[in-house]
Amino acid sequence: MIHVYQEGKNPAAPTLVLLHGTGGNEHDLLGLGAMISPDSALLSVRGKVLENGMPRFFRRLAEGVFDEEDLVLRTGELHAFLDAAAAEYGLDRSNMVAVGYSNGANIAASLIFHEQESFRGAALHHPMVPRRGLQLPALGGMPVFIGAGANDRICPPHETEELTELLRGAGAEVEVHWENYGHQLTGTEARAAADWFKRTFGQAGQN
């Protein structure tokens, strides 16, 4: 997968896996990643699917309606890529934290739903429930930050609430940050994610 890798200053800090929104690319979230954890290595990935020329991580049938067969396929592809990237760059595969926005948050959530040891934690900005009717793996206290907009028409509040309930039901420790805005990723939401990361993982990336 097309990606950017930036080596971190502190090898103990979690590697941040950056996953952009629809129409974005592997450069979009580098600034957000540096804000959340300045010492972390950054692995920023470009989605392989094109929708009217706009990169995405999986196909959709309509706005808010996912192509579940393609979602499962792409989730497996991303999981395999992260395994390979960890080997290529000498990263600790068990010490990766996802940072995703919109479509990127959805593929990150799908990985969490399908793979027990997909990430050490995740900051999901404006995610939806990736799939329903699944038995989630035991998440064992996985820390998850969810950034949400009270006026988000693409990802309405009930999606955030349902995703939170599903993750908590599987054992994740979920913190939800609400903004009185729509689907945009605001500066205050980004700073809230950075505060969550520092409280959760500390300066050296250790609990």
Active-site residues: which are they? 102, 152, 183
Distance CA(86)–CA(161), nearest Å, equals: 33
Question: Is the dihedral angle over the CA atoms 21, 101, 172, 78 positive or is it negative?
Answer: positive
Under a CB-based contact definition with an 8 Å cutoff, are residues 180 and 148 in contact? no
Burial class from Cβ neighbours inside 10 Å (0-12, 13-18, 19+) for residue 37 reads buried
Report angle CA 197, 36, 140 to the nearest 5 degrees.
30
Nearest in space to 111 (alpha carbons), one of 62, 75, 86, 141 = 75
Report angle CA 15, 171, 130 to the nearest 5 degrees.
70
Under a CB-based contact definition with an 8 Å cutoff, are residues 128 and 166 in contact? no
Q: What is the DSSP letter of 138?
A: P
The tokens describing 86, both together, are 């960890």
Q: Which helix (H) or strand (E) holds 17?
A: strand 15-19
| Phi–psi pair at 7, nearest 5 degrees | -65, 145
